[in-house]
Structure 1
Amino acid sequence: MSKLNERRKQISEMGEGEARKEIQELRMKLFNLRLQQQRGEVKDNRVFSNTKKDIARLLHRLTMLESE
């Protein structure tokens, strides 16, 4: 199983509290990445898009949990 599929499976099994906590951590990671980028410390720019996609997946998961 690919890393992406494992991550999707992880997210789909999360509860609401866990998903909210993860979103908060990822947003903090994104903030820190932006600071690192300004200092020229970021080697791989794909980290930004991957983090943003994870946040979007988690927000979608929360939406699905609320509609159930």
Structure 2
Amino acid sequence: MSKLNERRKQISEMTEGEAQKEIQELRKKLFNLRFQQQRGEVKDNRVFAQTKKDIARLLHRLTLLEGEK
């Protein structure tokens, strides 16, 4: 199984609280990455896209959980 599929599976099994905590952590990571980019410390710009996609996946998971209520 690819890393992406593993990550999707991991997200699909999260509870609402876990997903919200993960979103908060990823947003902090993105914030810090922007500072590192300004200082020229980011070597792999794909990290931005990957982090944003993870946030989107988690937000989608929260939407699905809301629909189940």
- TM-score norm. by structure 1 comes to 1.00
What amino acid maps onto 1:5 in structure 2? N
Which residue number in structure 2 is paired with residue 33 of structure 1? 33
Cα-to-partner distance string for 1:12-64 (whole Å, 9 max, x where unaligned):
00000000000000000000000000000000000000000000000000000
5+ residue gaps in structure 1? none
Identity percentage over the alignment? Answer: 88
RMSD across aligned positions (CA): 0.1
Which residue number in structure 2 is paired with residue 55 of structure 1? 55
5+ residue gaps in structure 2? none
Which segments of structure 1 move beyond 3 Å, counting only runs of 4 or more?
none
| 1:9-24 pair list within 5 angstroms | 9-24=9-24
**Counterpart Cα distance in 2 of 1:63 and 1:30:** 22
- TM-score norm. by structure 2 comes to 0.98
